[in-house]
Chain A
Amino acid sequence: MVENRPLLTVFCHVVLIIGILVVAFPLYVTFVASTRTLDEILTVPMPLLPGAHFWENYSTALSTGTTRGVTTGPVGRMMLNSLIVALAIAFGKIAISIIASFAIVFFRFPLRNFFFWMIFITLMLPVEVRIIPTFKVVADLGLINSYVGLTLPLIASATATFLFRQFFLTVPDELAEAARIDGAGPMRFFWDVILPLSKTSIAALFVIQFIYGWNQYLWPLLITTDESMATAVIGIKRQINTGDALTEWHLVMATAMLALLPPALVVVLMQRWFVRGLVETEK
């Protein structure tokens, strides 16, 4: 603090509190709606205090899902799918990126730079711009409605490869020299030296990639036609009917809370790694 200006400090707090309230408002209304009956929500204006149907709505959503209009299956199943997809994408990305950047940094071999650029260029090919051909490839491989089809096409990661490469370049040469003198081969060096040193980078990347995987939308939308393979995020979309009156909003809102809770908890509880991962993956 440069100087003491109590009025300015109060002003700062007021602006921040207003900001937080505005940011939290949609979440609060969603929570309130998820504890009310459909009739209570449909009265205009809807009540703005939590109701008494918390357990009822959440257990209905988890075990059976919506039944009026479109049936979408239980949300519990969707959450499980989301969890599997998010974990597979996060671990898959970290695993294949860490070994690829290990090879690129610690080995000299023909085509090394070519491979590095190949990985780099994937940054310029987001799934949104090549949806139909990618869908065809996955369909030809028979991977529609499978966990492999949901995750494998998304696990190539230029950002993770970059992050590990940057980190490996800062590892002192003496460590590799010492390992070689002691007779350790490259894989031994990888397991016993590089992997333990990379723990913080791995944790940071895990947070970012878990959220990325959990929040996938377009790809699961295309690749899952079977409702038992749907993830939570696309499940919500399928629960909403056109026309406000047909939609079972109390269950949709409970599903929305359930779908946003796991990644939000990861961000809040692993805040230190999250901030680090976010800032570092963008370097």
Chain B
Amino acid sequence: MEKRVVFRSAWLPYALVAPQIAVTIVFFFWPAVQAGWYSFQLQDAFGERTQFVGLANFAALFNDPNYLHSFKVTALFSVLVAGSGIAISLLLAAMADRVIRGALAYRTLLIWPYAVAPAVAGVLWLFLFAPSIGIVTFALRAVGIQWDWVLQGDQAMALVVIAATWKQISYNFLFFLAGLQSIPKSLIEAAAIDGAGPGRRFWTIVFPLLSPTAFFLLVVNVVYAFFETFGVIDATTQGGPAGATQILVYKVYYDGVKAADLGGSSAQSVILMGIVIALTVVQFRYVERKVQY
């Protein structure tokens, strides 16, 4: 789309884009190029000498069982977060779409977790599930479940999945609700006249019409689980126990900041950038399809 009427100036448009472009170059492109450059280098333990090693950092990563394990952990984590988040919020949105009385109150009471920082969400759930004092831990003990995520990897995973999903439900809920409200009522009414009950109508009419929204949310939730849950992990398990919740982003941070392995961390950054690019392409190709619908 182009505008017909445009202003002319030799310098003004450049001055207007300059701040955004300057920030972009200094804090986005330059660091990204450097990450690429470091990923081909090996640094000694004191950071004094560097040596060009070609693809050795990448080769080392893919031979490192910890890194491959981190891939598996990330995949499991994002499937659980996206899957449970989408399922729960679709249920709530379908219910909220039906009720008339109190609709706004329900919406208000369901959207506030969006405002909670991932790290704070992690702390809230950490407190509930704390091994010695947590109230949920106490309840679980009462029904015979020994809860100690500090030692048990799968319990630590459950904790971070719950905290991450909890924060994301409101986002999904709003998009599903908007999607539900844009479905023409005449379709639903026609099906009702033909004798289809609420369940049948949901699965044969509403759900297929919602599938673009669901797919969009799937991509967004995977991106969320991959990148934005850093705070949840760092505030709760810090990747432990024994790497059971060490997602890729956390490993980049850990190897780069805590273990000071610049080359290895940069190589991981480059791989992650590849994943972001792939996800963004999927998202935008899909958005174009949505426009044609």
Q: Taking beta carbons and an 8 Å cutoff, which residues of A are in contact with B?
A: 1-3, 5, 8-9, 11-13, 15-16, 19-20, 23-27, 29-30, 33, 41-42, 44-46, 48, 95-97, 99-100, 102-109, 112, 115, 118-119, 121-126, 128-134, 136-138, 152-153, 155-157, 161, 169, 173, 176-177, 180, 185-187, 189, 211, 214-218, 221-222, 233-234, 236-237, 240, 244-245, 249, 252-253, 256, 259-260, 263-264, 266-268, 271, 274-275, 278-279, 282-283
Q: Is B143's beta carbon under 8 Å from chain A?
A: no
Q: Is B65's beta carbon under 8 Å from chain A?
A: no
B116 to chain A, nearest CB (A): 5
A34 to chain B, nearest CB (A): 10
B215 to chain A, nearest CB (A): 13
Chain A residues with CB below 8 A from B34, complex form: 133, 136-137
Q: Is B53's beta carbon under 8 Å from chain A?
A: no
Check A133–B35 contact: CB distance below 8 A.
yes
> How far is B170's CA from A20's CA once the two chains are assembled, in angstroms?
11
Interface band, chain B: 35 or more
Check B111–A124 contact: CB distance below 8 A.
no
Contact A131:B257 (CB < 8 A) given known A45-B138, A100-B17, A215-B117: yes
Check A137–B30 contact: CB distance below 8 A.
yes
Chain B residues with CB below 8 A from A157, complex form: 20
> How far is B117's CA from A234's CA once the two chains are assembled, in angstroms?
10
Instruction: Pick the residue among A8, A42, A216, A267 that contacts B115 (CB under 8 A).
Output: A267
Check A156–B9 contact: CB distance below 8 A.
no
Interface-centre pick from B3, B112, B120, B198 (highest chain A CB count, 10 A): B120
Q: Is B31's beta carbon under 8 Å from chain A?
A: yes
Instruction: Pick the residue among B6, B114, B139 that contacts A267 (CB under 8 A).
Output: B114
Q: Sort A-B residue pairs by CB-CB distance and give the 4 closest, nearest first.
A: A133-B31, A215-B117, A103-B16, A263-B115
Q: Is B231's beta carbon under 8 Å from chain A?
A: yes
Chain A residues with CB below 8 A from B249, complex form: 128-129
> How far is B114's CA from A219's CA once the two chains are assembled, in angstroms?
20
Check A9–B19 contact: CB distance below 8 A.
no
Chain B residues with CB below 8 A from A15, complex form: 91-92, 95
**Considering the complex, which residues of chain B in the window 95-144 have a beta carbon less than 8 Å from any beta carbon of chain A?**
95-96, 98-100, 102, 106-121, 123-128, 130-133, 135, 138-139
> How far is B185's CA from A249's CA once the two chains are assembled, in angstroms?
51
> How far is B198's CA from A5's CA once the two chains are assembled, in angstroms?
10
Instruction: Pick the residue among A5, A20, A173, A263 that contacts B110 (CB under 8 A).
Output: A20
Check B135–A100 contact: CB distance below 8 A.
no
A272 to chain B, nearest CB (A): 10
> How far is B262's CA from A97's CA once the two chains are assembled, in angstroms?
33
> How far is B118's CA from A138's CA once the two chains are assembled, in angstroms?
24
Q: Is B67's beta carbon under 8 Å from chain A?
A: no
Check B5–A180 contact: CB distance below 8 A.
yes
> How far is B97's CA from A1's CA once the two chains are assembled, in angstroms?
9
The chain B residue sitting closest to A185, CB to CB, is: B7
Q: Is B266's beta carbon under 8 Å from chain A?
A: yes
The chain A residue sitting closest to B270, CB to CB, is: A129
Chain A residues with CB below 8 A from B132, complex form: 44, 244-245
Which segment of B56-64, B68-76, B77-85, B271-279 sits at the interface? B271-279
**Considering the complex, which residues of chain B in the window 149-190 have a beta carbon less than 8 Å from any beta carbon of chain A?**
166, 169, 171, 174-175, 178, 185, 188-189
Check B20–A97 contact: CB distance below 8 A.
yes
> How far is B198's CA from A236's CA once the two chains are assembled, in angstroms?
46
A148 to chain B, nearest CB (A): 11
Check B19–A123 contact: CB distance below 8 A.
no
Check B117–A100 contact: CB distance below 8 A.
no
Contact A125:B32 (CB < 8 A) given known A1-B100, A130-B269, A256-B124: yes
Interface-centre pick from A1, A95, A245 (highest chain B CB count, 10 A): A1
A270 to chain B, nearest CB (A): 11
Check B117–A42 contact: CB distance below 8 A.
no
20 A-B residue pairings within 8 Å (CB atoms): A13-B95, A16-B96, A19-B91, A26-B125, A96-B23, A103-B14, A125-B29, A129-B272, A130-B35, A132-B257, A132-B269, A153-B27, A156-B23, A173-B5, A180-B7, A185-B7, A218-B253, A237-B119, A278-B114, A278-B174
Chain A residues with CB below 8 A from B280, complex form: 123-124
